[in-house]
Structure 1
Amino acid sequence: MAVSKSINDAGDADQPSRCPACGADAYYRYGKTANGKARRICLLCQRQYTIDGARRDRPDRPACPLCGEPMHVYRRQAGFTRYRCRNYPACRSYVKVADEKGD
């Protein structure tokens, strides 16, 4: 019986890679994307990545009114999004931003 695909043909699973955040080559493969690329998580800094994976565009995040650091999404609720300071718990500020209604 002829097999059309090689057993080792697993997308990018066998390619060596380095973490884009810290440069470590210690990683754990934990699944695949919808396109068949191997998902990896760095064992040192816990960053999740794929080989040649483009980062998703993040919408502009507001700056913290107290310390100036970028804020991250804390909670999404009907009608608004709540952002919390990246320096939490040292800086406990948060901002509510109303969602835009697209008609």
Structure 2
Amino acid sequence: MKKTNILFLGVVIVLASCGGSAGWQQPQRDKLISECKEKAIATMSASGQTPDGATKQKLVGYCTCYQQNLEKKFPDPDAMGKADAGDVANAAKDCLELMVK
């Protein structure tokens, strides 16, 4: 559970500033997923945890799920600037189970 809380805190930090108004483009998706994973690893490392290969793979699944949920909520990536902590939490909560499997 501690890993999940730390991961969630790291992901809350991630709100990508994506440009363009034609919907999400693959580079924007990839950037958010990459930043999510990097922030989560940094947060875990700062708390003394060293994520192994399996955990890093789970992070990819988690961050992909997170990105997809954000994209559903904000089809226009420019609207991400309007996201609040509740939006981020809702996007993340459905994905947390991927970290404990």
Query: When the two structures are superposed, what TM-score results if normalisation uses the length of structure 1?
Result: 0.24
Larger radius of gyration: 1
Q: Could you say which structure has the higher helix fraction?
A: 2
Query: When the two structures are superposed, what TM-score results if normalisation uses the length of structure 2?
Result: 0.24
